[in-house]
Copies of this chain bind each other. A is one copy, B any other.
């Protein structure tokens, strides 16, 4: 089908850009950045041209008209291609260009404002980005509120109200669990025996663990970057990165487990359909469920470490006199940090609830930009019991808004919720549960392959969750998990 050929060509272009972006983060010499940007800009303009062309639209409409519904995957692919086409073509070129200039200026202004902890110089940029976001929302359209249209870009076919509903349910419970976990941790969590945990030994250990949970090194690798990520350069080419701290081997390991969760999803997508919706991930909330599942439900579990701690002790001799029970208390420590990226499992969602609430009010127009710092600090105090010392540790800490990434934050907590619900559902399969209980996670991976990965983006996230778990997205399993781990 012509439109599928075009979609595959688009994936070739986009994956070429991913190669170049990956190299930029991993191995780029310092002086090379400028030309690299022009390579990425060229590829992205070619991708945009193709995906918004009249030829594309004609091929798409021809295929839609000819579709007799005989193959549900074809029908789903056409539906999703049309959704993307509509979203891509509803914005006039003038707005896209204005958005790109505004984000670029805002990113610089944000970096500078953060350094000086001075919100006032970032404020006009944020105001411009919010105006643009509302313009985009109007053009894309929405059912209830402008924020819906932004959220849709990251988590399709849900609504702000539905997300807020889940978040409202969990807020008091998470606040309570976090407070107790932090108090408990302050008196009981030991420090890790001092390093160095040599980098090369960490790499060997991480690779062994990643392979054991099913990451396929024939079709992927692990490299080193300041900020860990996972990117897909082709249907059989998934690159993870992590960072190393020689004082704490668990830092790089959990980076690998988190990114390997994303990578296992990418490796599990139907590779023959690369470039089609049926060969693509469905949403950030589902993607994040995979990373969180492997990082937290597998990687922070007692069973996992009953198997792997002796291996770690073999490799890192300073662990010899540090028993497993102490190590687990170290792993499960909780602390209130003002900084999201330093937050642990017990406190992470509080950061997201805060951002989601503020963003929604900002986008919908009920919170003025000038009032953001005060609102941030008030919400933060309400959730954490104290206020950040300054805006650098408060509303200026994240890059997302400055990049125009409004609507993104919710997907982190949706990922947590989904991860618990999927893990609990998988464990209802006795073979999966029995294997997990002896730290053999390949049956679990098999279950995820079948119930999540194999669908690509043919089902909406909520429908995928329903088919996989038997119920609508719910915070129940997640709260049960947090309680059982932290209380």
A contacts, CB < 8 Å to B: 9, 12-13, 15-16, 19-20, 22-23, 27-32, 34-36, 38-39, 42-43, 46, 216-221, 223, 233-237, 274
Work out how many copies of this chain go into the complex. Answer: 2
Q: With A13-B42, A42-B16 in contact, do A234 and B274 touch (Cβ < 8 Å)?
A: no
| A236–B27 touching, CB < 8 Å | no
| A23–B19 touching, CB < 8 Å | yes
Q: Which of B23, B29, B34 contacts A220 (CB 8 A)?
A: B29
Q: How far is the CB of A256 from chain B (nearest CB, A)?
A: 16
A15 / chain B contacts, CB cutoff of 8 Å = 35, 39
Q: With A20-B19, A42-B13 in contact, do A31 and B274 touch (Cβ < 8 Å)?
A: no
A19 / chain B contacts, CB cutoff of 8 Å = 19-20, 23, 39
| A35–B220 touching, CB < 8 Å | no
Nearest chain B residue, comparing its CB with the CB of A219: B31
Give CA–CA (A34, B27) in the complex, Å. 23
A31 / chain B contacts, CB cutoff of 8 Å = 216, 218-219, 236-237
Q: With A19-B23, A31-B219 in contact, do A12 and B42 touch (Cβ < 8 Å)?
A: yes
Give CA–CA (A218, B32) in the complex, Å. 8
| B29–A20 touching, CB < 8 Å | no
Nearest chain B residue, comparing its CB with the CB of A24: B19
A27 / chain B contacts, CB cutoff of 8 Å = 221, 223
A217, A234, A236 interface centre (most CB from chain B within 10 Å): A234
Give CA–CA (A384, B76) in the complex, Å. 69
Give CA–CA (A42, B20) in the complex, Å. 15
Give CA–CA (A125, B219) in the complex, Å. 34
Nearest chain B residue, comparing its CB with the CB of A217: B29
Q: Top 3 nearest A-B pairs by Cβ distance?
A: A35-B234, A32-B237, A31-B236
| Beyond known contacts A16-B39, A32-B219, A36-B237: 7 more, CB 8 A cutoff | A15-B35, A16-B16, A16-B20, A32-B237, A35-B234, A35-B236, A36-B234
| B16–A237 touching, CB < 8 Å | no
A216 / chain B contacts, CB cutoff of 8 Å = 31
Q: How far is the CB of A32 from chain B (nearest CB, A)?
A: 3
A23 / chain B contacts, CB cutoff of 8 Å = 19, 22-23, 233
A221 / chain B contacts, CB cutoff of 8 Å = 27, 29
Give CA–CA (A235, B36) in the complex, Å. 10
